[in-house]
Structure 1
Amino acid sequence: MLATLFAFMGLGGAEVAIVGLLILGMVIWALIDVIKSEFTRPNNKFVWILVIVFMPILGSFLYLIIGRGQRATRY
């Protein structure tokens, strides 16, 4: 289905590879940020890791928008 969408948009192999690398980078960045962060609730870290692992694109996007606000503040 994704290949059909890229073909419809006129994207070839190089463009698809670049998009894939960008998505992979976002997922890795979100996972590293979750692992290194402290959260206000103890289960939040585990839940965010599960969300990012099982729904990589949506989970990473949601974490970067919603989850970063749930981190404990450091003074």
Structure 2
Amino acid sequence: MGIEIGGLLGLLVLIADVWAIVNVVNSNASTGGKVIWVVLILILPLLGLIIWLIAGPRARSSVS
């Protein structure tokens, strides 16, 4: 039947987590803050992603 629903959802969470980590690294947060956010996202993939979406640092503005 192809890819299982659980496998597809896991892949989507993985993609979203990678996207979140890239955004954290490109944010204005301090180095320590970035490390904490990345560790949180890696340890708790779904919950960490949700917390980051609500309260995480935002990406740097490209306007100078």
Q: Secondary structure at the match of 2:28?
A: coil
Which position in structure 1 is the counterpart of 2:15? 25
TM-score, length basis structure 2: 0.71
Bigger CA radius of gyration? 1
Segments of 5+ residues of structure 2 without an aligned counterpart are none
Kindly state the Cα deviation for residue 59 of structure 1 after the two structures are TM-superposed.
Answer: 0.8
Percent of aligned pairs with the same amino acid: 28
Once residues 22 and 72 of structure 1 are traced to their aligned partners in structure 2, the CA distance between those partners, rounded to angstroms, is: 25
Supply the AA of the counterpart residue of 2:41.
Answer: I
Q: RCO greater where, 1 or 2, for CA within 8 Å and sep 6 or more?
A: 2
Kindly state the Cα deviation for residue 42 of structure 1 after the two structures are TM-superposed.
Answer: 4.8
1:47 aligns with 2:36: yes
Which position in structure 1 is the counterpart of 2:24? 34
Kindly state the Cα deviation for residue 14 of structure 1 after the two structures are TM-superposed.
Answer: 2.2
CA RMSD of aligned residues (A): 2.2
Once residues 31 and 37 of structure 1 are traced to their aligned partners in structure 2, the CA distance between those partners, rounded to angstroms, is: 10
Which position in structure 1 is the counterpart of 2:48? 59
Structure that is richer in helix per residue: 1
Once residues 25 and 72 of structure 1 are traced to their aligned partners in structure 2, the CA distance between those partners, rounded to angstroms, is: 21
Supply the AA of the counterpart residue of 1:50.
Answer: V
TM-score, length basis structure 1: 0.63
